[in-house]
């Protein structure tokens, strides 16, 4: 029937769209991020002179782990922009473009995260988790930053057997994604 054909075409389109999303990222390490200073050779001394607490990501644009970190780092940047913690800066430096800054601190792998405490020009290596929550908690602990993550409204609702009939009714259009946690294309 016509509706069955439309349904099959819709499922095929959604699968294709889901597959393509695995290759697209909202943030890339080199894109400008709100609340994040792009460190260069020209401005490095301004920020790394001991006047500020600086949390710095050393990255390379081609690095897969850097690409995975970028959305989390951008979330922390949004929190920095909203709460503006005193004397604390979130920064990143492109090691392909600013080799001298990266070699000055012995960076050999990407991403490398370092914390420069206020009053010191010697960084501490960061070896903690790579989620926005981990990074914010570290900034709270090390810099005393008054900071929390900015929550964005979600238009996504997790469906369960208990709420499925209520959410997916005959009186409204609803886009439902069916996925499996183990499916690589679904992630």
Which of the residues are catalytic? 63, 66, 183, 186
Instruction: Identify whether the C-beta of residue 29 lies closer than 8 Å to the C-beta of residue 69.
Output: yes
**Between the CA atoms of 68, 70, 72 and 73, what dihedral angle is there, to the nearest 10 degrees?**
150
Q: For residue 185, give the DSSP letter.
A: G
- Cβ partners under 8 Å of residue 129, min gap 6: 135
Alpha-carbon distance of 47 to 114, in angstroms, equals: 13
Strands 124-125 and 53-59, by their bridges, are: unpaired
Cα separations in angstroms, 82 against 64, 115, 146, 148: 28, 21, 11, 9
Q: How far is CA 186 from the centre of its chain?
A: 19
Alpha-carbon distance of 135 to 4, in angstroms, equals: 48
């Amino acid at each position: 029937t016509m509706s069955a054909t439309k349904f099959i075409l819709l499922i095929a389109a959604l699968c294709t769209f889901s597959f393509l999303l695995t290759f697209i990222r909202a943030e890339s390490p080199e894109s400008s991020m709100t609340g994040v200073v792009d460190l260069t050779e020209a401005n490095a001394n301004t920020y790394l002179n001991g006047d500020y607490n600086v949390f710095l990501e050393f990255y390379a644009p081609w690095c897969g782990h850097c690409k995975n970190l970028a959305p989390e780092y951008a979330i922390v940047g949004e929190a920095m922009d909203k709460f503006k913690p005193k004397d604390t800066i979130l920064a990143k430096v492109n090691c392909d473009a600013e080799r001298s800054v990266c070699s000055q601190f012995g960076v050999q792998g990407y991403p490398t995260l370092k914390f420069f405490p206020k009053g010191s020009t010697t960084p501490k290596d960061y070896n903690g988790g790579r989620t926005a929550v981990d990074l914010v908690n570290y900034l709270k602990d090390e810099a005393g930053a008054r900071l929390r993550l900015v929550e964005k409204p979600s238009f996504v609702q997790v469906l369960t057997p208990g709420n499925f009939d209520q959410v997916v009714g005959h009186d409204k259009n609803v886009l439902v994604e069916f996925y499996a946690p183990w499916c690589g294309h679904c992630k």
